[in-house]
Amino acid sequence: MNKALEELTREELISKVTTLEFRLAELERLIFGRKSERFVPNATDAAQMGLFAQQPVERAPEPAKEQISYERQKPKAKNANHPGRNELPAHLERIEIEIHPEEDTTGMKLIGWEVSEKLGYEAARLYVNRYKRAKYARAEEAGIICPGLPAHLFDKCIAEPSLVAKIVVDKYVDHLPVDRQFKAFKRQGVELPTSTAYDWVRQAALRLEPLYQALIKQVLGHTYLQVDESPIQVLDKDLKGKTHRGYQWVFRAPESKLVFFHYHKGRDNAFPKEQLQTYQGYLQTDAYKAYEQFKNQPGIMALHCLAHARREFEKALTNDKARAEYALNCLQKLYALERKARDENMDYAQRKALRQDQAIPILDQFEEWIEQNLYQTTPSSPIGAAIRYYQARKSYLRRYIEDGRLEIDNNLIENAIRPLALGRKNYLFAGSHEAAQRAAIFYSLMACCAQHNINPTAYLTEVLCRIPEHPINRIAELLPHQWGA
C-alpha cells in the first residue's frame, strides 16, 4: 500500500474516497449525463427538512379505511380535443392555386371554395445588379456628364451589402462557416474563392468599427453592468501546429439590452481593469479571480451570480442529498419570486419591494442554515465546498435585493454568449488575433439584434448600405435599438 495512504486517518480516507467518487460521478455525467441543472424538489422531503438538522419526523397514524364508489366518464377518443394547427403567419406571400373538378361543370353554379394552406420554401438565390449609367454629351462639345455609382461598401468590390450581410449572419448567427456557404453558392453555378469572402468580411468590419465604438461607449455609460468571458481558439503564426487560447470578454447593460464583445489574448485582470477604470455603478460577475479587484475599487458595487452558487449545490446532490436539496429548495423560492415579478410585469420599484418583503426572510433563514452547517461538513466534500462557496460570497450574492434594476444572476449575459459557444464548434478557431476581434464586432451587433428582436440580415444590409455616407457624429443612430425604433 502507498505509504502516504497508510499515514491517513480513517476520517481522511473516507473524505478522500468521497471526493474521488464525486469526481468520477461528475466525469460520467459530463460524458453521458444530462447538462441541465433543473431541480425538481421532492415535496415530501422538503416538508420533512428542518432548518439545522435532518431529524426524523413522526408519522401520523394511518386513517381508518373505508370503501367508496364513484363514476367516471369514459375517456374521449385520442386527439378529440386537439386544437388543430396554428395559423400560418399573415405576412407571408400567398400564392393562389385554383383546383377545379375534372368533371365538366357547364351549367353548374360555383357556391364557394374549400381553402387549405401549405407552407412552401424557395431557396435563396444569387442575382446580379447591373448598373447602367446614362452618359450625355453637352451641347457645343462642352463635355460629357455621367452620374456616379451609388455609395458602395468599399472600392472594387463585386458584392452588394445584402450578400455581405448574408455571409456574416450565416456565420455569426447561424454558425455556418464561410467555406460551407460557398459550396452552396457553387451549387447555384457561382464559384468564388473563399479568400474573397474573408476579405469582404474584413472590409465590412472596418466599416462597422465606428459603430462598434459607439456601442461600447453606450454600454459603459450605464450604472449597472454584467461581465463574463468565454474562450476562443486562435491561429497564431508564432505557435506552429497549435492554437492560442484567447478570450472574448462580454459586457452587457441589462437596462438597455445592449451587449458588446471584445477580444483579448488572455484572461488576466489587466483587460477588465483597463475597460472599467472609470466605471461607476453596479458590476455583476461570477467569482472568477480577475473580478476580485473591483470589490475594493471606489464607486463600484460588486455583486455575484446566484446561479453559480446554486450550481455548486446541484453538483452536491450525489454527495449529500438531504443538505443539497434543502439548499436548492431555498434558492428555488428566491427564483419563484423573480418569476412572479416577471410574469406580473413589475417595474423596478415593485420588484425591489417584493424582494425586501419576501426575499430577505428566505435569505436570512438560508444563511443561518449555512452558518450552522459550515463546520458540520468537511471542506473537501462537494457539499462542504458548496456551503463555503456561498458563505465566502454571501454579501455579494444577496446584494441584488438592494435595487430593482439588478438581476438575481448572470444568466442573461450567458445567453448572449451562447452563439459564440455554438459557433466555435463549427468553425473551430479564428484565423488570427485580428480576425477574433472582427468576430467580436459582429457578435456584438448580432447580440444586440437578438436582444431587441430585430432581423439581423435586414439590419446589417441597411446599415452596410448607409454607413459609408452616414455622418460620423450621428453614428449611434445606426445601433440596433435605435434602428429598430
Q: Where are the domains of the chain?
A: 207-304+410-485, 306-408
Which neighbouring-strand residues pair with 302? 283
Average pLDDT over residues 97-109: 87
For the chain, give the percent of residues with pLDDT over 90: 47
Identify which of 49-63, 174-188, 455-469 has the greatest average pLDDT.
455-469
Average pLDDT over residues 460-470: 91
Write the CB contacts of 417 (distance below 8 Å, at least 6 apart in sequence): 228, 230, 248, 250
Structure confidence at residue 74 (pLDDT): 65
CA distances from 182 to 128, 198, 207 (A): 17, 11, 23
Structure confidence at residue 301 (pLDDT): 95
pLDDT band at 72; cut points 50, 70, 90: low
Q: Could you tell me which of 208, 221, 134, 131 has the C-alpha nearest to residue 165? A: 208
More confident residue, 356 or 47: 356
pLDDT in tens, 260-283: 999 999 898 889 999 999 999 999
What is d(CA 153, CA 164) in angstroms, rounded to the nearest whole number? 9
Q: What is the largest CA-CA distance in the chain?
A: 117
What is d(CA 429, CA 235) in angstroms, rounded to the nearest whole number? 7
**Phi, psi for 235 (deg, rounded to 5):** -70, 135
> For the chain, what is the radius of gyration of the CA atoms?
31
Residue 353 and residue 314 in contact, taking contact as beta carbons nearer than 8 Å = no
Structure confidence at residue 33 (pLDDT): 60
Is the predicted pLDDT of residue 369 greater than 50, yes or no? yes
Structure confidence at residue 356 (pLDDT): 95
pLDDT band at 12; cut points 50, 70, 90: low
More confident residue, 12 or 241: 241
Average pLDDT, the chain: 85
pLDDT band at 42; cut points 50, 70, 90: low
Structure confidence at residue 46 (pLDDT): 44
Q: How far is CA 161 from the centre of its chain?
A: 27
Q: How far is CA 23 from the centre of its chain?
A: 28
Provide the CATH topology of domain 207-304+410-485.
Answer: Nucleotidyltransferase; domain 5 (3.30.420)
pLDDT band at 426; cut points 50, 70, 90: confident
Structure confidence at residue 125 (pLDDT): 81
Write the CB contacts of 42 (distance below 8 Å, at least 6 apart in sequence): 325
Is the predicted pLDDT of residue 55 greater than 50, yes or no? no
Write the CB contacts of 9 (distance below 8 Å, at least 6 apart in sequence): none
Q: Could you tell me which of 187, 212, 67 has the C-alpha nearest to residue 126? A: 187
